[in-house]
Structure 1
Amino acid sequence: MSASSSIAGSGQRSIHAWLLLLPALVLLVTFTHWPAVATLIDSFYSTPKGVRAAVWVGLENYETMVDDPVFWQAVRNNLWFAAATIPASIGLALLMAVWVNERITGRTFIRMAYFTPTVLPMIAVANIWLFFYTPQYGLLEQVTGALGLPSHNWLGSPSTALGAITLVAVWKEAGFFMIFYLAALQTLNPSLEEAAAIEGASRWYFFRRVQWPLLMPTTLFVLVNAVINAFRLVDHVFILTRGGPDNATTLLLYHLYEVGFKFWDTAYAAAITVVLVVVLAGVALFQFFVLDKKVHYK
């Protein structure tokens, strides 16, 4: 085969490969990369209103964000929400995965019960819990009333509203994360547990010294998803509290929704989006490039 024929064949393979990638590339650019670039550009312009076109305002939208007390309230709420949901959902998911990985009676049913909240639509989940939290008539109120406890408006009180939404988020996400841990546990060599049992190691010692280090890659993956989920929750807030009372449950994405679709200040919403994306990207990069060094791969 001549050199020219080899080069021609290589060129045809390259063209064929790019043609195969073209549909996915078009979708990726159209619905991911271009919207991100357009949002960044819009954050430096004013919001067009009627016949008045958008004009360049520089960092004015970002200055508005710095001076916005509701934005900082949403940041504080989201940090508390993330600090509660991330460790709780991951810890509960790991506990459930270890339990249903054992040979217990009704294991298939228990796995299905744990995973069911994950497949339910988020709007449906929020409405179910709205019934639980309804003052005087809700299921939670019936239980507390039977115990002789006073009635309480769980979603209407600033002291408990964010905690009530946090509980819903943990209930929804723990089953999803459990699937990843369960899959990882089933890939571990059974001889490791047998050797530990022969050596007289306790279940806790075996988990802490053997299973947990081998589950670190899965934990890193779950942690990245948990962080992203903690900052993109909007469905539950919309149904349960609409950010109230007194912005006690306003999270960043819900505040973004209100600014962009309730007050129609799309330029300011674009600035909030840019900041949120940059922060989440920074957290993800830190997790992958810093925490990844502490992960033990097989």
Structure 2
Amino acid sequence: MITKWKRSLKRRGYDFSESISGYLFLSPVILWTGIFMVFPLLYIIYLSFFEWNMVDPVKTFIGFGNYSRLIEDNDFIRSVYQTLYFTVGKSILSIVAALLIALLLNQKIRGIIVIRGFFYSPVVVSMIAAAMIWGYLFDPQVGPITQMFQAVGLTAPQWLDDPKWAMNSIIIMSVWKNMGYYAVIYLAALQGISQDYYEAASIDGATGVKQFFHVTWPLLMPATMLVVIMTVIHAFQVFAQVYVMTAGGPLGSTNVIVYYLYEVAFQHFEMGYASAIGFVLFLIMFIVTLAQFKLMDKKMDF
């Protein structure tokens, strides 16, 4: 039966030797994906149905108990809201900042290469180092930002010590860290726009502002959708800056999902419950990303 099936495929032009060669070339990627992505996800799903402290070799099966607990866990629900707040704030500010920087870097001025390097430099700084630097900048006593406020006679907020400002401070730091990366995407898109569009708009009497909103911005839509998708994915995974700058405080005002997962897993040793949180986070990111791709398909369908 198998031999007959192979002969049938061969008559249709199917070459088994080429297929085997193709799979051999793909095997490193397939193995990497299976070992470091598929297996961990399946194991997390498996653990989410158990109660386990990582020390006791016996895992107690509790079914959907961890997921039922999530619904009643106010700390988890609050971490979801705070993650969404961080995501929205970081995404909007990152898009605006990256676009403004890209418009500046697209100008033909002297020393533009140095300026481009200056704006991109935060990207190559490790997140831990950047968080430590901004933790010092936001220090309410000796921080340079606080001293700048005092120099002009203003009272600076308590920044990381104030529940109303702590998350906003982390958003500012996160935007600074990654805006150069997103600016490069916008810069590449800007340089790909033909000058013919601007010449035609000028002939029609469009000014610089009108050219931006009727020519530049619509043609930047693919780049914008890419930046939105990347910022949202990165924002949902925020952890390092929270861990270094606030440790989830003050009063839990910066306790995002990933940091809450860390607390549950490695401080309270509830690995089963942490696995349920991780799987729910995966589902949220999957649904949000899928919705973004659907939106991008509609935006690009013109």
TM-score normalised to the size of structure 1?
Answer: 0.93
1:136/1:151 contact within 8 Å kept:
no
Paired position in structure 2 for 1:41: 46
Distance across 1 between alignment mates of 2:50 and 2:119: 47
Distance across 1 between alignment mates of 2:76 and 2:14: 58
1:213/1:296 contact within 8 Å kept:
no
Paired position in structure 2 for 1:108: 113
Q: Could you tell me which amino acid in structure 1 is paired with residue 162 of structure 2?
A: S
Report the Cα offset of residue 51 of structure 1: 3.9
Instruction: Evaluate the alpha carbon distance shift between residue 179 and residue 255 of structure 1 in structure 2; reply closer, same or farther with a 3 A threshold.
Output: same
Q: Which moved more, 1:197-206 or 1:129-138?
A: 197-206
Report the Cα offset of residue 225 of structure 1: 0.7
What number of residue pairs does the alignment pair up?
296
Distance across 2 between alignment mates of 1:4 and 1:295: 38
Paired position in structure 2 for 1:69: 74
Distance across 2 between alignment mates of 1:4 and 1:88: 55
Paired position in structure 2 for 1:238: 243
Paired position in structure 2 for 1:204: 209
1:97/1:179 contact within 8 Å kept:
yes
Distance across 2 between alignment mates of 1:166 and 1:85: 6
Paired position in structure 2 for 1:53: 58
Distance across 2 between alignment mates of 1:155 and 1:191: 49
Identical aligned residues as a percent: 35
Report the Cα offset of residue 171 of structure 1: 1.0
Q: Does 1:14 align with 2:16?
A: no
Q: Could you tell me which amino acid in structure 2 is paired with residue 127 of structure 1?
A: M
Provide, for residues 108-163 of structure 1, a one-character-per-residue CA deviation record: whole Å limited to 9, x for no partner.
12211111111110001001101101122110121112122335431111111111
Paired position in structure 2 for 1:29: 34
Paired position in structure 2 for 1:138: 143
Report the Cα offset of residue 55 of structure 1: 2.2
Q: Which moved more, 1:262-271 or 1:198-207?
A: 198-207
Q: Could you tell me which amino acid in structure 2 is paired with residue 221 of structure 1?
A: L
Instruction: Evaluate the alpha carbon distance shift between residue 44 and residue 109 of structure 1 in structure 2; reply closer, same or farther with a 3 A threshold.
Output: same
SS of the residue corresponding to residue 155 of structure 1 reads helix
2:149/2:156 contact within 8 Å kept:
yes
Paired position in structure 2 for 1:93: 98
Q: Does 1:247 align with 2:255?
A: no
Distance across 2 between alignment mates of 1:289 and 1:260: 34
Q: Does 1:175 align with 2:173?
A: no
1:133/1:139 contact within 8 Å kept:
yes
Report the Cα offset of residue 210 of structure 1: 1.3
Q: Which moved more, 1:196-205 or 1:80-89?
A: 196-205
Q: Could you tell me which amino acid in structure 2 is paired with residue 119 of structure 1?
A: V
2:54/2:271 contact within 8 Å kept:
no
Instruction: Evaluate the alpha carbon distance shift between residue 15 and residue 147 of structure 1 in structure 2; reply closer, same or farther with a 3 A threshold.
Output: same
1:156/1:245 contact within 8 Å kept:
yes
Instruction: Evaluate the alpha carbon distance shift between residue 60 and residue 5 of structure 1 in structure 2; reply closer, same or farther with a 3 A threshold.
Output: closer
Q: Mind listing any 5+ residue stretches in structure 2 that lack a counterpart?
A: 1-6
Q: Mind listing any 5+ residue stretches in structure 1 that lack a counterpart?
A: none
Instruction: Evaluate the alpha carbon distance shift between residue 33 and residue 206 of structure 1 in structure 2; reply closer, same or farther with a 3 A threshold.
Output: same
Provide, for residues 11-66 of structure 1, a one-character-per-residue CA deviation record: whole Å limited to 9, x for no partner.
11111111111111111100011111111111111114544511221111112222
Report 1:158-173 matches (<5 A). 158-173=163-178
Q: Could you tell me which amino acid in structure 1 is paired with residue 23 of structure 2?
A: W
Distance across 2 between alignment mates of 1:111 and 1:196: 28
Paired position in structure 2 for 1:258: 263
Distance across 1 between alignment mates of 2:23 and 2:294: 30
Q: Could you tell me which amino acid in structure 1 is paired with residue 136 of structure 2?
A: F
Equivalent of residue 160 in structure 2, options 155, 177, 200? 155
Report the Cα offset of residue 279 of structure 1: 0.9
Paired position in structure 2 for 1:190: 195
2:54/2:269 contact within 8 Å kept:
no
Provide, for residues 249-293 of structure 1, a one-character-per-residue CA deviation record: whole Å limited to 9, x for no partner.
111111111111222211111101111111111111111123421
Report the Cα offset of residue 295 of structure 1: 2.2
